[in-house]
Amino acid sequence: MRQVEHFIGGRFVDSVDGRTFESISPIDNRAIATVAEGGAADVEKAVKAARNAFESWSTMAPSERKRFLLAVADRIEERADELAEWETRDMGKPISDAKTKDVPRAAYNFRFFAEYACQVGSKAWDRPWDGVFTYELREPVGVVGAISPWNFPLMLLTWKVAPALAFGCTVVAKPAEQSPITASILAEIFAEVDVPPGVFNVVHGFGPDSAGEALTVHPDVDAITFTGESATGRIIMAKAAPTLKKLSFEMGGKSANIVCADADLDAAVAGSIRGIFTNQGEVCLAGSRLLVQRPIYDEFVSRFVERAESIRVGNPLSPDTEMGPLVSAEHLDKVLSYIELAQQEGAKLVTGGRRLDDGPLAEGNYLQPTVFTDADNSMRVCQEEIFGPVEMIMPFEEVDEAIRIANESRFGLAGMVWTRDLDTAHRVARGVKTGTMWVNCFFVRDLRAPFGGYKDSGLGREGGDYSYDFFTEAKAVVIKFPR
Ligand code: NAD
């Protein structure tokens, strides 16, 4: 059993009240770590440490902060195998993904923002005709609370921590309770490369009445960057209202993946498979509503189903596993209940739908890749985020119909369109109300671009200048020159 403590003011500490909880591996539902369970008193200590560190960190030259952040990135790379293994054991993603995608991206988050913060400038407005010169002064927003989810624990935590620190803020992180281990290894890394104490703090625990809530209500936390469910975002917004914090939310999705009749079918099948079954379907950006144009519907569905049936589901620590277990037994039950609901609502189960319980898989939370056809967008299973390896396929006739269906959702996080026609690509990209639209690809990111969601999927944007805007305050300095 690993011991996971808070990291406060550069030291690993237990909770003030000594409470702990267990982190359970989805591979076999056995406990793999005893984790400190933080509450208001622990958050208080962490916020104090972050505030104390703020003055010197925020006034340090960005190039000096870069030195520390690049050292963190180097160390993430040096400890990559260990980080990948714990990520997989903690939340079930295939080790091949953890190694080749999540961990490298975590290191890159630090590299990217460490450099970026050295490049950004500010605007100025000159009015020589009446002797007024105004310029924008950027100042780090202060102490940032970073609340992250379990589906990409290290990658999404670092997506918040890296820009916050690069732009001069200090951070109190609250990782997801289901997958706290890599955040704790990250804290070790911060200690190893001698980042000043208090710059980065981690308090483990839960959301309501626990560390998460304590962070959102704390009067000395200046901003909250949160990734998680839309329902949680609503609660955080209400709880943060009395202290008027800056908020940035990345939340749920039910994205439409639109495959047009003129698409490159090989690419569309491969991309659509990735779009729903990557990370066990536990992906906010998943193309969980698959809209296929009528002329290719039958062929596409048969190829998609054939490929879905060939996905290697198994122990995620095995290098050739393509899909691991769902994060918890509770989450597996939730996804199974949606599979039942889909059938009650009239969708046709064409493959999967069953828990895998042969041999050692019986101990974990394994589910077959599941595909439904004859779905209708008004069904709850097409409107609610299932967050598992379950695809709902429906046909469309005209592209405008696909755009309308895509928009009939309370979410607007991402979308995909597969077509060889540039006009169609533009029409869909413009027509669908969503934060990211991929044309003939999926999951491709440029960290300078805005990332976030419309409607219930997000509040604000992060990435490049958008992160700069969020993690800094802009001050107008107005100088009057005698004429
Ligand atoms: P969640 O909302 O249950 O939890 C996310 C984090 O919020 C956890 O650390 C949790 O402890 C904390 N939390 C919960 N209640 C809280 C409260 N009242 N106050 C403060 N903190 C609280 O989400 P999850 O189940 O961990 O993650 C899955 C969800 O995240 C899905 O909806 C998914 O779409 C979304 N997600 C979105 C993105 C994105 O970029 N838009 C990325 C990944 C995941």
Distance (Å) from CA 148 to ligand 1 centroid: 6
Dihedral angle sign, alpha carbons of residues 441, 447, 449, 450: positive
> Which residues are catalytic, by number?
250, 284
Sheet strands side by side (includes 11-13):
11-13, 6-8, 200-202, 170-174, 143-147, 223-227, 246-250, 458-459
Taking the C-alpha atoms of residue 301 and residue 73, their distance in angstroms, rounded to an integer, is 42
Question: Can you give the pLDDT at residue 340?
Answer: 98
> Three-class SS of residue 51?
helix
Strands 132-140 and 472-480: antiparallel
Ligand 1 pocket test: pick from 91, 182, 232 the residue with the most ligand atoms within 8 Å of its Cβ: 232
Taking the C-alpha atoms of residue 441 and residue 338, their distance in angstroms, rounded to an integer, is 28
Q: Whose CA is nearest to atom 23 of ligand 1?
A: 228
- Give tens-digit pLDDT for 247-292: 999 999 999 999 999 999 999 999 999 999 999 999 999 999 999 9
- Give tens-digit pLDDT for 341-381: 999 999 999 999 999 999 999 999 999 999 999 999 999 99
Distance (Å) from CA 179 to ligand 1 centroid: 12
Q: Which of ligand 1's atoms lies nearest the C-alpha of 233? A: 2
Residue 140: count of CB within 10 angstroms of its CB: 23
Question: Can you give the pLDDT at residue 353?
Answer: 98
Distance (Å) from CA 307 to ligand 1 centroid: 31
Q: Estimate to the nearest angstrom the gap between the alpha carbon of 312 and the chain centroid.
A: 24
Ligand 1 pocket, residue 281 CB under 6 Å: no
Ligand 1 pocket, residue 229 CB under 6 Å: yes
3-state helix, strand, coil in the chain (%, to 5): 45, 25, 35
Ligand 1 pocket test: pick from 279, 284, 330 the residue with the most ligand atoms within 8 Å of its Cβ: 284
All domains of the chain in start order, with CATH: 2-251+457-478 (3.40.605.10), 256-439 (3.40.309.10)
Q: Whose CA is nearest to atom 28 of ligand 1?
A: 228
Ligand 1 pocket, residue 284 CB under 6 Å: yes
Distance (Å) from CA 128 to ligand 1 centroid: 50
* Amino acid identity for residue 379 in this structure: M
**Predicted model pTM:** 0.98
Question: Can you give the pLDDT at residue 389?
Answer: 98
Ligand 1 pocket, residue 147 CB under 6 Å: yes
Sheet strands side by side (includes 30-36):
2-4, 30-36, 20-25
Task: For 411-447, give one letter per residue: b (16+ CB within 10 A) or e.
Answer: bbbbbbbbbeeeebbebbbebbbbbbbbbbebbeeeb
* Amino acid identity for residue 398 in this structure: E
Question: Can you give the pLDDT at residue 456?
Answer: 98
Ligand 1 pocket, residue 91 CB under 6 Å: no
Question: Can you give the pLDDT at residue 483?
Answer: 78
Ligand 1 pocket test: pick from 227, 330, 436 the residue with the most ligand atoms within 8 Å of its Cβ: 227
Provide the residue-wise pLDDT of the chain in tens; the chain has 483 residues. 999 999 999 999 999 999 999 999 999 999 999 999 999 999 999 999 999 999 999 999 999 999 999 999 999 999 999 999 999 999 999 999 999 999 999 999 999 999 999 999 999 999 999 999 999 999 999 999 999 999 999 999 999 999 999 999 999 999 999 999 999 999 999 999 999 999 999 999 999 999 999 999 999 999 999 999 999 999 999 999 999 999 999 999 999 999 999 999 999 999 999 999 999 999 999 999 999 999 999 999 999 999 999 999 999 999 999 999 999 999 999 999 999 999 999 999 999 999 999 999 999 999 999 999 999 999 999 999 999 999 999 999 999 999 999 999 999 999 999 999 999 999 999 999 999 999 999 999 999 999 999 999 999 999 999 999 999 999 999 999 987
Ligand 1 pocket, residue 207 CB under 6 Å: yes
Residue 302: count of CB within 10 angstroms of its CB: 12
Q: Which of ligand 1's atoms lies nearest the C-alpha of 150? A: 26
Q: Which of ligand 1's atoms lies nearest the C-alpha of 216? A: 20
Distance (Å) from CA 45 to ligand 1 centroid: 23
CA atoms within 13 A on the CB side of 366: 23
Ligand 1 pocket, residue 111 CB under 6 Å: no
Distance (Å) from CA 294 to ligand 1 centroid: 36
In degrees and rounded to multiples of 5, residue 395 shows phi and psi of -85, 160
Ligand 1 pocket, residue 413 CB under 6 Å: yes
